[in-house]
Amino acid sequence: MAAGGVKQALGELNKDSFVTLLSKLIGESKYVQNNPPDLIPEEDRIVRHVLDVLRPFSTATGGGPLVINHVAYKPNRGNLIVEYPGTQPGKILSFVGMHMDVVTAIPSEWDFDPFTLSIDGDKLRGRGTTDCLGHVALVAELMRRLGETKPQLKSTVVAVFIASEENSSIPGVGVDALVKDKLLDKLKQGPLFWIDTADKQPCIGTGGMIPWKLHVSGKLFHSGLAHKAINPLELAMEALKEIQSRFYRDFPPHQNEKVYGFATPSTMKPTQWSYPGGGINQIPAECTVCGDVRLTISFDEAMSGVACNLDSRGFHVLCKATEEVVGHVKPYSITGSLPLIRELQEEGFDVQTSGYGIVHFLLHASSLLYTIARLVLGDSWFEVAAPYKCHRGGESLLVAGLALRFQSQKVLLPCKKTAEEIGLLQKWRERIVPMLTHGRNLKPSTSNM
């Protein structure tokens, strides 16, 4: 069947049906949070709702052509493989990666109940609407329409709803186990679309990741007698400054970053800081700084990045479909890591990635950054999109706003910015810097940090 005939047969997305299903899935999100050992998701709660939608059109009930396989390796933690058979053997395409677990949410930090679907204008809100229960509902609706309308397709269409994507500390639960048991082998015969990104554009690359830890030993003493102490905090800051300087010299922006549309170059930065504790007047004996390296091109790092095959027919079809539906196509890459996709690539799958929804930096009223943003930007600003444009050394606006470097109350501009961004930085300098510096000039040295 020609593409136009398929679209005509399937029709438009039934929004009422989609929202009804998504509402049920978000209602289960509290029980599919993935953060072992405290929170172990029960993905079968999601499976049951998807089965309620698809089973009436399955071979199991005699109501349709869908072949459904519920595969579980742990109690209450199932995966779901749904197949719509095509007419031509060997032709296949698949949608994989719609995971049925979510990251944790603390209700007190949200402006609305994260575990209940709410609608604000044209926005659907709740934990998992984008990552990734919204994709579960979307692909489930697609498979339902295939089973309902029964178009004659040359290619078999397979949807794989997976468990355990957000946390890999408990192995052998999700797609890794399905691949190991060769349940997905036939998907290698065609493009595999991993549906777990956002912003409605093809994601064609991800970054590699190396975790690191720096432990610094000093000498404990009273801060009033600093000459008798060795301050590990200052040592750590000086050491990290030198390490970062060397990193950015050794790993400058790469020419392929433009080809793959990376928003940032490779980065190295701290993300955690710990020390044994003590009074404010006590210089500690030790501290530990942890962080990660994000690489835009693949080295022999601990967790390799992904580069999708730009010559794949699947990639070209995805771009064409995106342009037709969205109105434009702009493939992009991120320095976030997606190890499951990398593993599929290494197993011989032609992986292309995309997804729907919008990723933006939400600032909640209870957070310090939200308060600062309102002071800087005015009450009319409630969210800031694309906060990653300048991502080196803790100098990005708002994301690491409190770590901005100051010199005589002038914010340094380490990379080219738009007029709008320069205006935002100027507002930051005028309104926030005086509050943070209490009217004094701060020099970017460890003695003032």
**Is 101 in the active site?**
yes
Structure tokens at 283: 């210089």
Cα separation, 285 vs 335, in Å, equals 35
Phi, psi of 23 (to 5 degrees): -60, -40
Helix, strand, coil shares of the chain, percent, nearest 5, are 35, 25, 40
Residues 119, 195: contact at Cβ < 8 Å? no
Residues 25, 99: contact at Cβ < 8 Å? no
DSSP for 405-433, please give it. Answer: -EETTEE---S---HHHHHHHHHHHHHTH
Helices (H), 232-349: 232-250, 256-260, 313-326, 339-346
Residues 372, 401: contact at Cβ < 8 Å? yes
Q: Which one of the listed residues 28, 44, 83, 101 is annotated catalytic? A: 101
Q: Which one of the listed residues 43, 165, 199, 395 is annotated catalytic? A: 165
Residues 21, 27: contact at Cβ < 8 Å? no
Q: Could you give the C-alpha distances from 215 to 115, 273, 418, in angstroms and in order?
A: 39, 10, 39
**Is 165 in the active site?**
yes
Catalytic residues: 101, 165
